[in-house]
Amino acid sequence: DKCTWFGLDFSKAKMIGSDGFSDPQAIKDQFFNSWNNLIQSEPDKYNLGKVFRKSSIDIYLDVAIERNKLVDVDDLVITHTAYSISEDELKSIISSYQADEVSGLGIVFVIESFDKFSEMGTMWVTFFDISSKKVLFADKMKGKASGLGFRNYWAKTYFNVLKEIEKKQYHSWQKELEN
């Protein structure tokens, strides 16, 4: 089965805690791409094939890169922790994807928030049919932040989510994904 990684979609994400996110412009202009590129630049560490039990996974970041440019830096950082993306909003995000070059199963992490207070990243792990843009399965997961430097500290959130999928979640999702 053909499978394509769409990357990290930050288009509706919030960075919670102004102390932790003092430069929203740099987050948008630099870190969104840098977080997305880690998966390609460190394929052994971020082994998507192993995580998702696929012999090969294509990488197609065009949609995420374009959507991440839509972020309004004035609205990116918030101070309260009561923020979430609903399943309807998630479906709306996926339905907007323009990806005629690829088909089959798409996987994307729609980032909900990076929270400085809880030191957690929350994201919707989303499997979808690329052609019909139908969400096949989505699960909201959290990963703990850690590490040195801003990039690596927050990259650890989705690294930890990938590890949890590999060790635990994927097995329980298989029934959902085979339907």
Classify residue 83 by burial, with Cβ atoms within 10 Å: 0-12, 13-18, 19+: middle
Q: Which DSSP helix (H) or strand (E) runs through 175?
A: helix 170-178
In the predicted model, what is the mean pLDDT of residues 6-16?
A: 97
The token pair at 91 is 């479906």
For the stretch 148-177, pLDDT in tens is 999 999 999 999 999 999 998 877 787 777
Percent of the chain topping pLDDT 70: 98
